[in-house]
């Protein structure tokens, strides 16, 4: 389905997430961090906010943000956490909430999440629960966060029971996606974020997939117009889906293409740098296409196009491409059962009839699934 078409233009763009009284803009373009005070100021009743970020991002971008906010007369405090997926924990949630409370905040205070999906999810969740909910702004600093996690209000943490199993839907009041911040992002992280970008083409917009196959190099190498276009298209799709199904009672589940398999491999590698979230999603996406083909739903040609594209981008498409050994179909299924709890106790798969045509299926037979996973693990 070709939902949205537009040619890339190198200028700041705005996409609106339309949620009636809780609608908010996503501004996209280079240099937005230098205008943060102008955008955030109108949301502050008491001219103060708390920035939550990680040590790595703080080293690159925190001083620019703080200087700009102070120039606009905004008083800001900071909470700086270690980088990495393990930061999305109960312990850090407690730490962020305690630091917010110790600062004497009230309900009109604002949290500013300056970071990737880890900081956005954690800081957003802290904002959702502290004082029963205060406002928050997303300033996404990774490609993954700009195209996906900063938009739509899913916030949360990981627990020993699985990924993202404790959290809340809490929409930000504003998203500032400064595409220039991606210039300091390591190449591997850019590629990982690309997996969540190409997802929109694979789910619902074949023309966007085609645009990416022609322009992926420009997106990866830092061409600003290409990056703005990729982020804008992704945010348009995400905003569209979230406006239609904010709480994932239906079509929003399509955004989980590749995630059921992906989460299982993330768990298998201990949520470590061995396998980044976006890399796991890429592998899971290729598996979803292969599974759809085996079920007779999509052509071999579609599978080949997806595998070839992800491989060109430098993303894993087979279990043999990721650092996991000595696992078993039972172990992968056990990890997947944890996702199941979050999906109404039936294992949901996002399957495809082709590129741009995804749907939710709860009908995959357990024996078929076990055999499919076993074959994937045996495949070189």
Question: What residue ranges bind ligand GLY (CB under 6 A)?
Answer: 148, 152, 154, 248, 252, 255-256
Rule CB under 6 A: choose which of 181, 198, 253, 257 binds ligand NAD. Answer: 181
Interacting span for ligand NAD (CB under 6 A) from 11-19, 138-146, 355-363, 370-378: 138-146
Rule CB under 6 A: choose which of 48, 191, 277, 293 binds ligand NAD. Answer: 277
Decide if 43 is catalytic.
Answer: no
Binding to ligand NAD by residue 192, rule CB under 6 A?
A: yes
Minimum distance, C-beta of residue 126 to ligand NAD, in the bound complex (Å): 14
Binding to ligand NAD by residue 284, rule CB under 6 A?
A: no
Rule CB under 6 A: choose which of 278, 284, 316, 356 binds ligand NAD. Answer: 278
CB 315 within 8 A of CB 306: no
Question: In whole angstroms, what is the distance from residue 65 CA to residue 164 CA?
Answer: 28
- Sorted by sequence, the CB contacts under 8 Å of residue 366 that are 6+ apart come out as none
Nearer to ligand GLY, 154 or 293 (CB): 154
Catalytic residue among 256, 305, 335, 376: 256
Residues 320-339 that bind ligand NAD (CB under 6 A): none
Backbone angles phi, psi at 170, to 5 degrees: -145, 110
Provide the CA 241 distance to its chain's centre, in angstroms: 14
Decide if 55 is catalytic.
Answer: no
Minimum distance, C-beta of residue 317 to ligand GLY, in the bound complex (Å): 20
Ranked by CB distance to ligand NAD, the top (closest) residue is 117
Where do runs of H (alpha helix) occur along the chain?
36-40, 55-57, 63-71, 90-102, 117-129, 143-144, 187-204, 206-221, 224-244, 259-268, 277-294, 300-313, 329-341, 366-378
Residue 252 contact among ligand GLY, ligand NAD, none, beta carbon within 5 to 8 Å by kind: ligand GLY
Question: In whole angstroms, what is the distance from residue 166 CA to residue 338 CA?
Answer: 12
CB 201 within 8 A of CB 209: yes
C-alpha distances out from residue 4 to 29, 228, 232, 240, 242, Å: 19, 15, 11, 10, 16
Q: Which residues are catalytic?
A: 132, 154, 196, 238, 248, 252, 256, 259, 263, 277
């Amino acid at each position: 389905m070709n939902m949205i078409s537009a040619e890339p233009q190198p200028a700041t763009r705005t996409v609106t997430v339309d949620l009636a009284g809780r609608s908010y803009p996503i501004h996209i373009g280079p240099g937005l961090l230098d205008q943060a005070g102008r955008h955030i100021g109108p949301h502050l009743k008491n001219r103060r906010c708390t920035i939550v970020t990680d040590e790595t991002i703080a080293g690159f971008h925190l001083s620019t943000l703080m200087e700009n906010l102070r120039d606009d007369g905004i008083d800001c405090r900071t909470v700086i956490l270690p980088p990495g997926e393990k930061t999305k924990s109960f312990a850090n949630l407690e730490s962020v909430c305690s630091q917010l409370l110790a600062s004497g905040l009230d309900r009109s205070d604002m949290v500013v999440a300056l970071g990737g999906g880890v900081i956005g999810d954690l800081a957003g969740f802290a904002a959702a629960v502290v004082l029963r909910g205060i406002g928050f702004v997303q300033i996404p600093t990774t490609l993954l966060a700009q195209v996906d996690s900063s938009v739509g209000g899913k916030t949360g943490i990981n627990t020993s029971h699985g990924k993202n199993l404790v959290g809340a839907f809490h929409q930000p009041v504003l998203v500032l996606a400064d595409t220039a911040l991606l210039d300091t992002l390591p190449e591997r992280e850019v590629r990982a974020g690309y997996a969540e970008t190409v997802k929109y083409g694979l789910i619902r917009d074949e023309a966007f997939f085609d645009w990416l196959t022609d322009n992926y190099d420009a997106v990866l190498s830092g061409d600003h117009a290409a990056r703005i276009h990729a982020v804008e298209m992704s945010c348009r799709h995400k905003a569209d889906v979230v406006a239609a199904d904010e709480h994932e009672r239906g079509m929003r589940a399509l955004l989980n293409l590749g995630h059921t398999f992906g989460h299982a491999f993330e768990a298998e590698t201990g949520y470590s740098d061995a396998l980044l979230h976006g890399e796991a999603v890429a592998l899971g996406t290729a598996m979803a296409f292969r599974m759809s083909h085996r079920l007779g739903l999509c052509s071999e040609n579609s599978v080949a196009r997806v595998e070839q594209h992800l491989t060109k981008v430098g993303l894993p498409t087979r279990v043999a491409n990721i650092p996991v050994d000595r696992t078993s179909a039972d172990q992968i299924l056990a990890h997947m059962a944890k996702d199941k709890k979050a999906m109404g106790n039936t294992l949901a798969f996002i399957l495809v009839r082709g590129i741009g045509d995804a749907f939710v299926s709860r009908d995959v037979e357990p024996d078929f699934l076990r055999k499919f996973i076993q074959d994937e693990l045996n495949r070189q």
